[in-house]
Each structure stands twice: as C-alpha cells, then as structure tokens.
Amino acid sequence: MKKLPLLLPLLLITLNSSAQEKSIYHKGWIDFNKNGKMDVFEDPSQPIDVRVTNLLSQMTVEEKTCQLATLYGFKRVLKEEMPTPSWKNEVWKDGIANIDEELNNLTSHTDAAPTQYSYPYSKHAAAINTIQKWFVEETRMGIPVDFTNEGIHGLNHDRATPLPAPIGIGSTWDKELVRHAGQVVGREAKALGYTNIYTPILDVSRDQRWGRVVETYGENPFLIAEMGKQMCLGVQEEGVASTLKHFAVYSVPKGGRDGADRTDPHVAPRELYEMFLYPFRRVIQEAHPLGVMSSYNDWNGEPVTGSYFFLTELLRQKFGFNGYVVSDSEAVEYLYSKHHVADSPEEAVREAFEAGLNVRTNFTMPQTYIMPLRNLYKEGKISMKTLDSRVGDVLRVKFKLGLFDHPYVEDTKAADKMVHNEDGTAMSLKMNRESMVLLKNDNNLLPLDKNKYKKILVTGPLAEETNYAISRYGPSHNPVLSVLTGLINYRGSEGVVYTKGCNIVDATWPESEIIETPLTQQEQADIDNAVEQAKKVDVVIVVVGEDVDRVGESLSRTGLNLPGRQLKLIQALQATGKPVVMVMINGQPLTVNWENKYVPAILEAWFPGPESGRVIAETLFGDNNPGGKLPITFPKTVGQIEFNFPFKPGSQDPQGGKNSWGNTSVNGALYPFGYGLSYTTFAYSNLQISPQKENQQGDIKVSVDVTNTGQRAGDDVVELYLKQEYSSVTVYDYDLRGFERVPLAPGEKKTVHFTLHPDDLAILDKNMNWTVEPGKFMVMIGSSSEDIKLKQEFEVEK
C-alpha cells in the first residue's frame, strides 16, 4: 500500500498514453506527432509550403534522412508482408519516403513476389492501410508513406487492367484513349492503396536494336510528348502521382546495347535539347507531374544521377519541376561502381544528394543510403539547408497527394468494383484494337473472306506463345488468349489446323545471325510438316516475331531479322502457292525485307495485351479495321542505323536514291515513320491556314478535310508536318507538329483542326536560345512522314 502513490503516476501516464494513441484521429485533422494539439503541418487549412516548413522544423536528422530512401516491397527487400514488432528495430522506425511495389504479386524472371494480399483487390487495400497505419501510429512523427508502383503496361498489380506494350500504345496515335488509359491506371492505383505510379516512359527510341524500344512510345519527340502528356494527366486526375522516366538521354546507349552497358550516348548538345529533353520539358510544363526518375547513364562524361546540371539546373530551374526525383535502381551506386566518378560508395551518395536527387531506390536495404547520408551530415560534408530542401520536396508531394489529410484508402471494399472493371476492360480492348498496324495488303487479301477461306493453317512460333502479354512492368496473372486460341474461337476448331513450324530461335542463336548453320533433322521435319499442312488448307496464317526473352530490359540485339528459322519457315510456306498472311508479334522494328517483298499481307501487332488472340482474329477477318500508324521507322538493315524520323537535311536520303555517284548502299526505309494501311481509303482536301502571316508570338490555325472514300468504316490518323524553309542553324528537314485519329464511316467527311503555337515553331538559335525565327514555313498534311498529300506555306514576320 505504501508503494501505491508511486504507482499511480505511472499508471496515469500509461493510461494517458493509451488514450492519446487512440485519439490521434480528430474531426478534420490527424495528430501525427501525437502531442495532443493541432500543429501547423496537421492543419488542412494551411498552405502546403507552410505545412512543410513546420513539419521540417520538428524533424530530427534521423527522420529527415529516412524520407530520402525507398524501401522495396515484400520479397524484393522487405521480408514481412505485414508489420511486425521487429520493425521497431529497423531504420524505418523513423519513417520512410516510399515503399515500392508492395504486395503487388509480381511475376518476373528476376524478382517474383507472390503474396496472399494482392487479391481480392479489397484485401490489398486493407493490407496497405495496415502498413500505412503502422507508420502513422508507430513512428514519432507519423509521416505517411508514398506507395509507389510501376504502370507502363497498366498498373503493375495482380490482375489489374492490362495495356499493350507502350510501343503499341504509341501506334494508336489516339490522345483521348491514352488519357483514358491513364485515368484507369490512376483509378486502380488509388483504389488499391498506391499513391505514385512510375509512368509514362518518355525515352526517345533512336536505335532499333535497343531492347527497351518495346517500352517506349516510339522515336519521335513530339509524338512521345503528346502521348506522355495524356498519360500523365490521366493518372494525376485520379489523385495519384505520375513519375516520368528515365531522365535523361537514357535510350541511346552506344550501339543500342542495354544490359550492363546503358551508357555513353553519342548525343550533341543541340540534339540533347531538341530530341531527348523535349518530351520531358513539354510534359513537365503542361501536365505538372509530381515525380521524375533519374537514369543510369552519363551524358558528355557526366552521370545524370550525379549531375547538378540535369537534376537541378534543367529539371527545376529551366523546366519548373517541383515534385521529387527518385533514382532508377542502383543509379547512385553506379557513380562509384560503373562510372568511377566517385572514389567510394559514400562519395557517390554525396554527389547524388548534392546534384538534386531526392530519393534513392535500389534492391538493397534503405540504410545503405540513409547511414552514409547521416555520416556525411555529421562530418559536415552536407548542409542542413540542402537536407531540408531535399526532404521538403518529398514532403510537398505527400501533402499534395493528400496523405496528411487522408492517409488511408477510405473504402477498401470499393476496390473490388473499381479494379479491372467493365470500363477498364473496354478501354484495354479498344487500345489493343487501335494498336494494330497493317503493313502490307496486296490485292486486298485482308480482311479474309470467311466463305472463301474456310480451312486455315495457323503456324509459327508465336501462335501459341503468351508471355509477350505479361510484362515485368504491368499486371500479372491475367489469362492470355493466344493467337491460335483466338482464331479457333473465332472460326471454330473444325476450320483451323495448327502446327508450330519452328521455334522462336535455333540452338546457336544469336550466333546463327552471322554464321548460318544447317537445319537439324527436327527443324527440317517441322518445316516440312507445316508445308504438308499448308497444301491442305485455303490460307496460311504464320505468327512470327519475338518473345520476352528476345526484347526488353537488359536485352538488345545485333541483328533485326526474324530470329532463328522463322524466315525459312515463311519461305517454305510461300513456295506452296497458298496465300500467306504474316502476323508479327515483336517489340522492336524488324528488317523483314524478304517477307515484305514476297508475303502478300503483313499485320504488325507488337506486344499486345492478354486479349491478343481475339483482337488479331477480329482484325484478320475485318471486324476490326486496323488504323494504327508506326511510331518508329523500320530500317531495311541494321547498317542504316541510326535511321529515324526526324532527320537533318540530306542525312538519310529518304527517297531511296543512290549514294553519291556510286550505287553502294541500300537506301530508304522499309516502312517509314507514321506509316500504316487500312481496309478502306481516305482523301484529304481543303487545307486552310490562318493567318497567312503572323508575328513571332502568334498562333497559326490549320484545318483540313478528311474523307473516307472506301466501303468500310475505319480510323485515319491525319498527320501534320512542319518544315522551316530557312533558318540560322541547321534544323530537322521537317517534323511532326500535330496529329488526330479520326473515325469515319464510308463516305463521311470531317474537318480536322490544328493549332500551331510558338513553341511548335521554335528552334535553338546559335546562342542556344529557343527562338521563333522570321521566315517561311511549310505545313504538310500526310498519311505518313513520306506520303505527303497537301502542302501550304505561311510566313512569320518580325
């Protein structure tokens, strides 16, 4: 009894602490720091910058440094699916900037991450809430986590709505549809508890050998900027951050080599701005993304992730970016281990931090970045002012996302109705249909006449393959309909015969691309069997190309022919005299010269989504009229590379003329940028430009009529190119400056309107300033970059 007075204060403290923990959630605000009062940073009525400053003033160095690192999610780095008592002993007891790919049930060669919490969708939303609650309630300052995830093929989550590969998205040339896709990705992310999505990729693919061509919107900076802008706007309209990648000059490593290389882009300063920075500048200034990912590579000897020029001068001071910069995985470490511009791992951390990096991401524990940062501060090598600036950027994004006002998914059950619902499924199907590009169609073989072609041989190594439809950076576990199954479903099993014909590659590939080897007995037998089957049918559909082991991240090619024995299969089938339709499933342009010369019909499907079999069957038989256009040039040979659009005058000889006085090279594109056929025909007329003369700050209005002159409904992409006739510096011969995808019924005419802004006319002058120079400009309307139908001039006056 004598001890009771001593015990009572302790008991009261415990009770008060327990009551305080239960009461941090107040009407209209949350007591994140658990001090029993509304601090300025907890007050939703205060301006965000004021809230950021107040929060920073209360944080320790330990808490600040924790806001500068990523914790990779379960199975990648995080060992537990749910919070455990041991978390109190981990570095993230003081908080964390973001948790990446948490409980998304990733399927991947390298880092698969199965989990019980990914599906049903409501279970994942509840799981994210549990993890978020731990950070809000169990850390001193209660700073919420930014839950990041990938999203270039659709949200990178178990059974989320899938999209075709970005190169297929680029082939749609459909801005409205891409905006819708972004909204679906953002809506699903928010419903599942993700708050920041790594999309779009704004890399400009100028080397067709590069493995990640499949993950880009193409080769043209204007097309990429327009598509990327719509994707970013769509995602952020749903209250989720869009993080652009990969900043910058990432997509042209020397020789197109990916994998461990990813460096040494040979890009001149003017080209840097006009080509590779252009999409980033446009999207940052017009869509205001909250995130940017810094890239692995160097430029002009300076690694981007350690570059103040790239991460601060360009990104923030010139482009106006005000979100936070996250590193690509291991980009910081490469300053030491690959680029050798830092003499220790800690010096690499200092260089990236000083350059402007906000958050380090890597497949290692976050303390491998956080502890060096703390040491650097203790040693006086980094300042509190810079530390507050870097942390402030991260906190500002978290405030903008509403994490300090609504840190949890408020209706977890709603996720089951919002993820992969009817709207998302319809959008995905439409995008798959619109991404189809018709490359050749002699004598209108396509669409196939169901009555004429009753018996079909389906062959080729991609006919039964499905792995192209599941991406490391997109949804997993969606059922995939192969091309063979899609055609059987469409025509009935009695009308379809199948034999594989050959494998994707032969045993000695890729060496067989340079040293041909004789066919094995089995390979010859497989081709012979396909030929025998072809003789018994009315038409042959051969499905060829690449799979995920042939093109993608850490993959690049030295040749671009069809791999393995695929051409030999096609040649043998063509020799039967039966009509052959070639369907290409691939992630990069292929040099299909023989195929283009002799095969009567070729359909480019890229890497379509899980509906691939259905969509390809619909397209071959005419229920879907292909209206896609190529977002990247198909060269005839790798010897032409670099071979792209746009290009400088005389640098490519796009008309295919002779090389100087000799005849020494193969010239011209196999298929040019912007190219794509249709089952109907279109005509352009009545090109109008207003005004004919304008000052350097004025807009130019352009209109043109497009008419469906054929017998079928179809989509046309009206492409506007602009040529500056004379300039103070050499500029691209002409370039894309507008496009619209237009659906038209037979005989229907529509007027398409464009507005050319000063930015569309601007060039970098001799002093590297963006300037609209006086002079004459030519507006060119075409159905591809080489097929110009109408031209008209206007003039810019001083």
Instruction: Tell me which residue of 158, 205, 157, 151 sits closest to 181, measured CA to CA.
Output: 151
What's the 3-state SS for 43-105? CCCCCHHHHHHHHHHHCCHHHHHHCCEEEECECCCECCCCCCHHHHHCHHHHCCCEEECCCCC
C-alpha pair distances (Å), 711 with each of 473, 682, 748: 40, 11, 11
- Identify the active-site residue in 94, 146, 328, 715: 328
Instruction: Tell me which residue of 540, 612, 544 sits closest to 584, measured CA to CA.
Output: 544
CA 604/CA 544 separation, integer angstroms: 10
CB 143 within 8 A of CB 396: no
Token readout for 699 is: 């807009």
Token readout for 686 is: 């009545």
Token readout for 216 is: 């880009």
Cis peptide before 9 (omega within 30 of 0): no
Q: Which residues are CB-neighbours of 135 under 8 A, at least 6 positions away?
A: 92, 95, 96, 142, 143, 144, 145
Q: Is 596 exposed, middle or buried (0-12, 13-18, 19+ CB in 10 A)?
A: middle
Strands 775-782 and 714-724: antiparallel
Token readout for 708 is: 């469906």
Token readout for 552 is: 């993608």
CA dihedral of 255, 256, 261, 264, whole degrees rounded to 10: 60
Does the annotation count 328 as an active-site position?
yes
Instruction: Tell me which residue of 177, 174, 180, 230 sits closest to 202, measured CA to CA.
Output: 230
CA 440/CA 602 separation, integer angstroms: 5
Token readout for 541 is: 């559909």
CA 481/CA 478 separation, integer angstroms: 10
CA 520/CA 506 separation, integer angstroms: 9
- Strand order in 456-459's β-sheet? 437-441, 601-604, 580-585, 539-545, 456-459, 496-499
Instruction: Tell me which residue of 276, 367, 356 sits closest to 323, measured CA to CA.
Output: 356
Active site residues: 328
